[in-house]
Structure 1
Amino acid sequence: MGADREGGARRRPGRAVAYAACGAVLLAGCASMPDSGDLRNVESTPRQDTGVRVFAMPPAENASYSEIMQGFLEAMTSDDPRYDTARKYLTADAARTWRPERLTTVLADGPSIATDSPPSGRDQAESRTYVLAGNQVATVDAQQAYAPADGSYRTKVHLTKDPKSGQWRIDAPPEGIVMGKSDFQRNYTSVDKYYFATHTRVGANGEPVAVADPVFVRSKVDPMTQMVRSLLSGPTSRLEPVVRSSFPTGTALQKDTTGLTPDDQNRLTVPLNDKASRVGLARCTEMATQLLFTLRNLTPTLESVELQGPGGHRLCELTEERAEAGAWHASAQSPQYLYFLDGKHRLVRLPTGSTGTSGAPVPGVFGEGVKDLRSVAVSRDEYTVAGVSADGRGLYVTSMAVGAALGNPVVTSQGVNAQHDRLTNPSWDARGDLWVADRDPRHQRLYVLEQGGDKPVEVALPDLPGRIEDVRVAADGVRVALVVAKKDGKHSLLIGRIERDDESDDGPAVVDPRPAAPDMELVTAMSWAGDSRLVVVGREQGGVHQMRYVQVDGSTLEGPAPAALSGVKAIAASEDERVPLVAYSEDGIVRLPTGAQWQKVDKDGTAPVYPG
């Protein structure tokens, strides 16, 4: 096992690999390191089953400086929980100050290794400097938050020879961990941890809205305990301004807690310190809800969580059913219908579980076809519908009820070009607020209409690299996805944070938009497809059009992409991943049931949407 390296040199064994099966750990064996020679490139680690753990070899006695360097790079990609073996390649002082958890730098092909200007004379016998270099693709910070990166990476690593022991060791290691992309994918997994939206509650009982905050944890190093610690430490800086945690400040696991795992009844006990010992039942229930939503990402069979204080004092217990009833999150909401416009300009719907192809007109004026529409959006409670007129000029909102009036447009665009300069597709969040952008190049605006009302409020926007082409607000109401057309013809997908100030008369603001599909130069369609992921149609530089899933943090999701489909003009997905993907393509409306191929639904249909 080794870090990714450039070149095609033969693979050099350098790890002991432990295979875990049926609760037993079997040592596969260990390999010796060469006792002479320079650094050699090592091929990237093959992807392995989740039951395989890889451990580093400690430095051999009288190992050469090149072997120390090579061994350290390999040790950084091992499953050693605290990198104790990697520290053995460092001097005592360096081992104390090196903080691998503060930063992980991910390179496209792993670090290439070159010798810096070699010292001469006595210095040559006692020190060496190597340069690690490569192309950055991402970083993971101390909060375990992923961020795409580009540009070159270059850092120096210094080795010295101890005058007493005669052993080579590293006294100036790189900052944090450095590894190649394939080693990162083997070592880390993305998991959503959950907090509550600060300004959003839904339903008659005012249920809190859960917000997914994706982080990366080491997949084979006690991931459940890692995720609990990460959750207790608070949200990442990207979400911190718009979410809250029910855990009191300073709440942590009790000292020396490791190996958290559900019992044979799929129940998990989480021992907390005294900071949480005085919370009331309602708050404790919210705390347990955050834990249950988070940990079910790792263990879908988890059924209940019990929180304990010092001395085993039981604080509260929560089952999955009670958690789902007491808090709202999008992926647990299954839409009743798929909606689209038929060939007669009517808004029609199909039950999501239906295998039929004939949509029934919705109740109300949009189902009667009295207004030609370009696009629609159905509120998440499926009672209200917003539609943009065929010329893109007006946004109309009406109830899906027999006899409901259409009324005047609630937003009107003055853009000249009907195809490119007027209103985008509308979008609803869980609060019942409606979002739409006016693409008029003379004054680009993003609007929100609270509860779908007739008073649009302009949303403050940061400096964007181009014109908004599409808008999709997340169900949680704290994030918005924007497709932005740049002057060079590229279309980028950005995810921005939505900030609100209840004490001010100012409207909400979109803050800190960041790329979610950085390697795509042209994004032509997108839809939310989970609590923290989207499905995107677009093209990479030099590539062909494709459809794939992306995370809000810009990371690439593992697993298969949707089956290929040509001529996609629009895409519709639900946060409930069990619901079929639907597209508007050159074949009309088509859907993709789980485990099947694309199926035709309506050859004359357009503008498919699920609620949202």
Structure 2
Amino acid sequence: MGADREGARRRTPARAVAYVACGGVLLAGCASMPDSGGLRGVESTPRLDSQVRVFAMPPAEDATPPQIVQGFLEALTSDDPHYKTARQYLTPETARTWRPELSTTVLMDGPGAEADSHAARQDAGEFSFTLTGTKVATVDAHQSYAPATGPYGGTVHLKQDKKSKQWRIDALPQGVVMGRTDFQRNYMSVSKYYFASNTGAARGNAEPMAVADPVYVRKRVDPLTQIVRSLLDGPTSRLAPVVRTSFPAGTALREGVGSLTPDDRSRLTVPLNDRAAAVGRSRCEEMAAQLLFTLRNLTPAVEEIDLRAGGGSLCSLAESRVESVASRGETRHPDYLYFVDAEHRLVRIAPGSGATKPDPVPGALGADGPDLRSVAVSRDEHTAAGVTLDGRALYVGSMVLGGELGEAVLTSGGGGEEDRLTAPSWDAQDDLWVADRDPGNPRLLLLEGGRGEPLQVRTPGIDGRIQAVRVAADGVRIALVVEKGDKRSLVVGLIERAEEPGRRPTVTVVEPRSVAPELEQVTAMSWAGDSRLVVVGREHGGVEQMRYVQVDGSTPDVPAPAALTGVKDVTASGDERLPLVAYSVDGIVRLPSGAQWQKVTEGTAPVYPG
């Protein structure tokens, strides 16, 4: 750690050792801790190469109370797997009861520390410090990230051993606390995968639908084994209401298993306890699919899972077969990019090519239908939906030659164009979602199969009027732009379905969470992967920007898209090989990987299927 306020001086007692492949480097301490009085910041450790491992040093002989607290905070940011060095700064009893795994509090800067003037005097053998800072996020015991705001405060109390005269911490908050830079250096986001409980096989389809559940694990502390254990522990509390796992209750790694490592053929053997010993082959392959989806982007690569329990092999599943066992909604490569041309008709263009001349889609929406301002295409690319230019009516039609359009499936009674229907969105079950912005009757609506009487979706906890709707490919998450007063926020909720025989389902959006709270004016957004969105907006007093955001509210470790002005719509594919596409003041533009924005053609409202 280092002084995060300019000019704060370095102190020598805080230190950590960083090891690299070619040798060791001693890092000087960075925390600035007063003996008494004023508050000083504790800066995060400067960014290090990803191969560098940082280990804290134990307390020095006769270290003062400020040096003990400083060294302890330094040790929290090290790569010590079990915080053994950090515990050396604690009294034996406190070391036994301190549980760092309960939570991680992330601060804007490193924690500051202020000597407590009301505490007992140092010469009486006791001393206290108050840790302070501004909260950015918290990570709970299930490794789930959540944005946080407001001040942080925690008390660290020290006692001097009467015999040895050494100072040690005897009371402190549970969990760990660190600055944002240290958090980014120490932790990484990994998505573990479960299966939707209200889609896929759960509703009669052949294959279960995989759902990403992002968590944060320590980057250089055997992340592969960490994430396997986390997967077996079950989904985070936020996602649990809408997903299931194929692992039997109580399944864990076999007792005594340490680190998991793939062999030289990239096959990972996972020994499980006897709770999994009786599963059949089909269920076992679903378990292996969860592991393959989860470990897909880790290093070293895993290309095959071998599950073992009860003294023998349960099943093996190779990466090449995983898509035959379970589906991931964002893995399908779309055939086309769709948008509305200058004649207000639905057109399409091959997304991965350099083509700039679009073709009309087959069917009425691409020929003689009504003038359109927004569209959505089903994920199988067989059906399209379009909202009329005035926002009043929603039409649905098949994309086949000669297909007839029929009557509007929905109309809005809103008085102005901006008080009527939003752009529609198709979910994984080919149901169509749209919001009616009529101030007198604002509603989120669902049309089963894209037709019939609209079903009003319950939205408890959503405070404001919905201005945009996008349903995730997994079928259990929905992204909404919600307007309240002069602010438009991006909210992600979960889709709960309750079905009873002979009755229409009850659909509810639950657990809504703001995932980009720093943006006060969100103007456009789209799903950009299993657990990621691309969003356009601006902060208070700031300029328009485009960025990626995770469904848990964290910022993914990927570069933000190149700057683009005047963005009105944006769309992304789960297939990362395809370009980001936007509608801006320049018309339809695309952003190929590693390039700058390029104009495609004139038009509006670009969408990939979904």
1:497 equivalent to 2:491? Answer no
Once the two structures are superposed, the pairs formed by residues 30-429 of structure 1 within 5 Å of their partners are 38=35, 41-119=41-119, 124-201=123-200, 206-299=206-299, 301-311=301-311, 313-418=312-417, 420-429=418-427
Q: CA deviation at 1:227?
A: 0.2
Q: Distance in 1 between matches of 2:324 and 2:5?
A: 52
Give the match's secondary structure for 2:209: strand
User: What is the aligned residue count?
Assistant: 602
Distance 1:245 1:380 in 2: 25
CA contact (8 A) 1:196 1:210 kept: yes
8 Å Cα contact 1:434-1:449 kept in structure 2: yes
Residue 45 of structure 1: how far off its partner (Å): 1.2
Q: Distance in 1 between matches of 2:205 and 2:458?
A: 31
Q: What residue in structure 2 maps to residue 442 of structure 1?
A: 440
Query: TM-score, normalised to structure 1's length?
Result: 0.95
Q: CA deviation at 1:380?
A: 0.2
Q: Where do 5+ consecutive residues of structure 2 fail to align?
A: none
In structure 1, give the amino acid aligned to 2:145: Y
Deviation at 1:16, TM superposition (A): 3.8
Within the alignment, does 1:522 sit opposite 2:524 as a pair? no
RMSD over equivalenced CA pairs, Å: 2.0
* Residue number among 464, 470, 473 corresponding to 2:471 in the alignment: 473
Contact 1:7-1:43 at 8 Å conserved across structures: no
| CA deviation string 1:297-324 (max 9, x = no partner) | 223842111111143x111111112112
> Where does the alignment leave 5 or more consecutive residues of structure 1 unmatched?
none
Q: Against the structure 1 CA distance between its residues 356 and 204, is the aligned structure 2 distance closer, same or farther, given a 3 Å change threshold? A: farther
* Conserved? CA contact 1:4–1:182, under 8 Å: no
Given that residues 3 and 179 in structure 1 are in contact (C-alpha distance below 8 angstroms), is that contact kept between their aligned partners in structure 2? no
Say whether the 8 Å CA contact 2:461–2:511 is kept in structure 1: no
Partner residue, 2:584: 585
Structure 2-normalised TM-score? Answer: 0.95
2-structure distance, mates of 1:426, 1:445: 13
Partner SS for 1:352: coil
Measure, in 2, the Cα distance between the counterparts of 1:4 and 1:416: 57
1:327-351 CA-to-partner distances (Å, cap 9, x unmatched) read 1112311111000111122211111
AA aligned to 2:69 is M
- Tell me how far 1:435 sits from its aligned partner: 0.5
SS of alignment partner, residue 199 of structure 1: coil
Following TM superposition, the consecutive aligned residue runs of length 4 or more in structure 1 with deviations greater than 6 angstroms are 30-34
Equivalents in 2 of 1:544, 1:32: separation in Å?
A: 38
Q: Distance in 2 between matches of 1:555 and 1:480?
A: 17
Would you say the 8 A contact 1:260–1:268 is kept in 2? yes
CA contact (8 A) 1:4 1:179 kept: no
Q: Identify which range, 513-522 or 295-304, moves more after superposition.
A: 295-304
Query: What is residue 8 of structure 2 aligned with on the other side?
Result: 9
Structure 2 SS opposite 1:257: coil
State the Cα distance separating 1:37 from its structure 2 match: 7.7
Secondary structure of 2:199's counterpart equals strand
Q: CA deviation at 1:206?
A: 1.5
Are the structure 2 counterparts of residues 101 and 191 from structure 1 closer, same or farther at C-alpha, using a change threshold of 3 Å? same
Per-residue CA deviations over 1:337-368 (Å, capped at 9, x if unaligned) read 00011112221111122211001111001111
1:457 aligns with 2:455: yes
The letter for the 2-side match of 1:257 is V
Report the Cα distance in structure 2 between the residues aligned to 1:37 and 1:339, rounded to whole angstroms. Answer: 61
Matched, 1:611 2:609: yes
Conserved in 2, the CA contact under 8 Å of 1:7 and 1:41? no
> Secondary structure at the residue paired with 1:591?
strand
Letter in 2 for 1:161: Q
Give 1:12 deviation, angstroms. Answer: 4.4
Matched, 1:513 2:505: no
Identity %: 62
Moved more, 295-304 or 511-520: 295-304
Cα distance in structure 2, aligned partners of 1:383 and 1:143: 41
